[in-house]
Amino acid sequence: MGSSKARNSAFAVSRSLGMLGNDWTLLILREAMSETTRFSEFRSSLGITADVLSRRLNTLVEYGVMSRMPYREPGCRTRHEYTLTDAGRELEVVLCALEQWGDKFLPWTSEPSIERRARESNRLVHVAFIDDRGREVPWQEVATVRPDAYHQGIAGAAGRQ
């Protein structure tokens, strides 16, 4: 899925996947969520080549998910730091939903691949549907409503296959 195609898609799902649909992109985002900011740190914790890392970081900056800031240490050339924008930080919900599903239905080991806890209470959290009164709604009880934009989107998608 090319990024311009994904960006122009009427479907929020396609636009999101256009940006996320790459193994390394996801691993870089996870590192960034653990406060990694420097190119060399991403390289050493992921064991990724400089070329691949550089392309992926550029894509993330282009989509507004990460931002790039120059910094300079004494006696060194100018380098760049990469930090998540608010859009990037909110991807935590998406990553968790994908991980939960993958751990349950396409398991690799018996362990969950990652755990999330509320910082204050240290209680385990999961991703689920919740209504506007703050009550969890089981997925079995959720109905989908399609506004006009959905049908316009289908028409657009059919022109592209």
β-pairing, 66-71 with 79-84? antiparallel
Q: Of 79, 98, 80, 108, which is closest to residue 30 (Cα–Cα)?
A: 98
What part of residues 75-134 is at the interface with its own copies (CB under 8 A)?
A: 87, 89-106, 108-109, 111-121, 123-134
Which 138-157 positions form the footprint of its own copies (CB under 8 A)?
139-150, 152-155, 157
**Nearest distance, CB of residue 59 and its own copies, angstroms:** 13
Separation of first and last alpha carbons in the chain: 11
10 interacts with its own copies by CB under 8 A: yes
Question: Cα 153 to chain center, whole Å?
Answer: 23
Dig out the tokens for 100 from the structure: 């939960």
| Position 17 contacts its own copies (CB under 8 A) | yes
Pick one of 28, 38, 47, 66: the residue that binds its own copies (CB under 8 A).
47
Member of 39, 41, 46, 67 binding its own copies (CB under 8 A): 46
How far, in Å, CA of 6 to CA of 99, rounded?
Answer: 22
The residue among 71 and 125 lying less far from its own copies, judged by its C-beta, is: 125
